[in-house]
Amino acid sequence: MMNEHAQSLVDEILAPKADTGKSFNICPDITNAALDVICESSMGQHVDAQHNTGSEYLWATNRINEIIKDRVVSKLLATEKK
């Protein structure tokens, strides 16, 4: 299962981008592949985040990450002495 997601990432997602010769941000693609592997292996749920970038689950995961990041940063900045 992990190999299938990795192969899909390389063949279907990254290869077309790499063939352009232009630089691109690989982080979202790796994150989506990791989410696919984690969800399928630990929860038995097929999310298909690599191909369905507009999915509700992917949006919710990204949103909660933003909320957590903002809360951590704001707490750190609130205690900073100026």
H-helix segments, 1-82: 2-8, 15-18, 27-38, 56-78
End-to-end CA distance of the chain, in Å?
A: 51
d(CA 43, CA 27): 23
25-37 per-position pLDDT tens digit: 999 999 999 999 9
> How distant is the alpha carbon of residue 65 from its chain centre?
10
pLDDT-based confidence at residue 79 (cuts at 50, 70, 90): low
Contact 40, 47 (CB under 8 A): yes
Kindly state the average pLDDT of the residues 51-57: 89
Round the average pLDDT of the chain to a whole number and report it. Answer: 87
Domain residue spans in the chain? 2-78
Half-sphere exposure (Cβ direction) of 25: Cα atoms closer than 13 Å: 4
Q: What is the mean pLDDT of residues 50-75?
A: 88
- What is the pLDDT at residue 68? 84
Mean pLDDT, residues 7-11 taken together: 90
For the residues 1-28, what does the mean pLDDT come to? Answer: 89
Element (DSSP H or E) covering residue 42? none
> Which is more confidently placed, 37 or 71?
37
